[in-house]
Amino acid sequence: MKCIITIELGTNGIRVFAFDLNGRVIGSLKGYYPTFHTEPDHSEQDPEQIFITTLYVLKNLLNEHVHPKKYKCACICFSAAMHSVLAVDNNGNPLGNAITWSDNRAKKEAQELRSSPLGKKLYDATGTPIHPMSPLLKIAWLREHDPVRFRQTSKFLSIKSYIIHQLTGEYLIDYSIASATGLLNIHTIAWEPDALQYAGITADQLPTLAPIFTTAGKLRKAYQQSLGLPADTKILIGSSDGCLATLGDGVNGEGNATITIEDSGAVRIMGPTVLKDDQMRFFNYLLTEGSYVSGGPTNNGGNIFEWFTRQFGDFTNPFDIEHSMQQLIEEAAQVPVGSEGLLFLPYLLGERAPIWNANARGAYFGLNIKHEHKHFVRATIEGILYEIYSIGKSLGEQRTIKSLSVNGSFGTLPFCTQLIADMYNKPVRLRQQFHSVSFGAWLVSATEMGIYKSLEEAAQTVQLPDVYKPNPQHHAVYADYFAIFEKLSTKLFDEFEAIGNLQQKHAATETTVKMSG
């Protein structure tokens, strides 16, 4: 019997699934690799550790789950987090660590480019918001601040391109990862000359552009032997985690949106055209030719609730944060919808969509003497989800959203899913069984192998059984409060900047006081 293996190169680690040809999971294993913060604003990962972890997990999955059951692996398909950059020399050896999406070292460069006419032009061409996450700005940063490494660089790869090169010897980048670099013209599907010029590189310093179904050559012999895989195993380059999560949730074509809430979050839609936006709020990434995954990302998702839990949760077991979160959610459920007028702005990490303000800060608003601990819990969750709703609302100005699905660890808590249904006033479908990303990669593989005629057909077979129905009364309450939430988030613009500056200024003084006195 044949099986399909999907490899998900995520932010914190790798997840490998083996599926049979009906889309059932035969086995899955994960492996962790760390993110290093060598300096504030820097986030890096060790490419060799990612590679070894990939080999190790793959090997164990093949030994434990696939070989004993006599499955023959027909196809391996990749997905990966977006926006990573790894500089390699002309032997393909990494020059230092890979820089990941959450790295903010290019903050200053991003601010300057964003407010320039070139920034607007590049956004229109590439569909990637001008932000330090974007490889475009990270490469520009390297040119300015790390000229030695920049000069030695033969190619700038994504982490996925590096892993595929290690396994097969080919330098490839799929359309969606490429379109998240800020260097690809998503209309012509070619590297954008203006972007290359801004970054100071040439097109041959980037991997070869490849559509989603591209086979990345053959697995090197040594890996065929050590992994026990046949020489004709297909290595599909696949796509990005964002695009595949959308596909894996059955979203294909217009009218559907999918909400992902892990640490951070995003609302995504799919369509045949890009979303145009004068305020440069949305991303548009290319899944396949003529099919764009568009949407807005937030910095403040499950990580903010985790922060709250650490500060105000009850830790009987210091290691068990899930348990504390569960207790808090039970507490929140005792409070009426809308937290009796307590509002929370969740911008603890600044914010991307829809306000794109790195200076934004958190706030509780509307506090009165009646409010108790439990109101803060509920207001915090509601605040995080108002932010998710505000992204959906701004997307809705350009597209009609008929149905919604939710995935990701924080979003799929039943309490949160119901809140999302109420806020949007739309039924919400929920995938609980497994990661949408890997299932999306399975759909791609199955289509490539001819099980489905097209990705559209593949996506139609996705069944999301759990439906949360909106409560119109709750929706009315949320609509009232949301109006204030939305006003606050834009009205406080000057104050966000002022407090951000003060925090920076006084943080510096405090350090000197500590050192001297």
Partner 1 sequence: MNQFLLQQGKAAELRLFPHLLEVGVKKNGAIQLNAFLTTTTECLRIYYIIEGKFEWRINHQSYVFYPGDVAVILPGTPFGSDNGILEIGSFTWLHLAIQKLDNGHLLPGKWSGLTESEGAAIGKILSLNSSPVLTRFTEAGKILKCIQAELFNHEIGFQACINHQLDELMIQTTRHMTRQSQPGRDFPKTFMRLEEVLRQDLSHQWTVEEMAALVGLGTTLFTERVKSYSGFSPINYLINIRISEAIKLLKRPDISVTDIALDTGFYSSQHFSTTFKKLTGYRPSEFRKNHLKNK
Query: What residue ranges bind partner 1 (CB under 8 A)?
Result: 13, 29-32, 34, 46, 48-49, 51-53, 55-57, 59, 90-94, 220-227, 306, 310, 315, 318-319, 321, 515
Which is nearer to partner 1, 261 or 287 (by Cβ)?
261
Give the tokens for residue 374.
């439990």
Q: Are 47 and 162 in contact (CB under 8 A)?
A: yes
A 10 A CB-CB count for 435 gives: 23
- The DSSP secondary-structure symbol of 351 reads B
Which is nearer to partner 1, 329 or 342 (by Cβ)?
329
First to last CA, the chain: 72
Q: Are 223 and 76 in contact (CB under 8 A)?
A: no
What's the closest the beta carbon of residue 385 comes to partner 1, in angstroms? 23
Which is nearer to partner 1, 225 or 334 (by Cβ)?
225
What's the closest the beta carbon of residue 242 comes to partner 1, in angstroms? 23
List, in sequence order, every residue forming a beta bridge with 147; answer none if it has no partner.
none
Q: Are 346 and 300 in contact (CB under 8 A)?
A: yes
| Cα 153 to Cα 100, 156, 231, distances in angstroms | 17, 7, 32
Give the tokens for residue 331.
């507490």
Helix (H, G, I), strand (E, B) or coil at 418: helix
Report which of 356, 459, 474 is spatially closest to residue 421, judged by C-alpha positions: 474
In the chain, count H helices and then E strands.
Answer: 18, 22
What's the closest the beta carbon of residue 66 comes to partner 1, in angstroms? 17
Within its chain, how far is the Cα of 190 from the centroid? 23
What's the closest the beta carbon of residue 93 comes to partner 1, in angstroms? 5
What's the closest the beta carbon of residue 188 comes to partner 1, in angstroms? 30
Dihedral, CA atoms, 324, 330, 334, 335, nearest 10 degrees?
60
Which is nearer to partner 1, 65 or 281 (by Cβ)?
65
d(CA 63, CA 55): 12
What's the closest the beta carbon of residue 165 comes to partner 1, in angstroms? 10
Which is nearer to partner 1, 148 or 515 (by Cβ)?
515
Which is nearer to partner 1, 315 or 415 (by Cβ)?
315
d(CA 288, CA 493): 38
Which is nearer to partner 1, 309 or 359 (by Cβ)?
309
What's the closest the beta carbon of residue 107 comes to partner 1, in angstroms? 23
Which is nearer to partner 1, 57 or 275 (by Cβ)?
57
Which is nearer to partner 1, 220 or 373 (by Cβ)?
220
DSSP notation for 253-282: STTEEEEEESSSEEEEEEESSPPP-TT---
What's the closest the beta carbon of residue 318 comes to partner 1, in angstroms? 5
Cis peptide before 354 (omega within 30 of 0): yes
Which is nearer to partner 1, 12 or 403 (by Cβ)?
12
- The DSSP secondary-structure symbol of 329 reads H
What's the closest the beta carbon of residue 500 comes to partner 1, in angstroms? 23
What's the closest the beta carbon of residue 118 comes to partner 1, in angstroms? 35
Give the side-chain half-sphere CA count within 13 A for 384: 31
- The DSSP secondary-structure symbol of 62 reads I
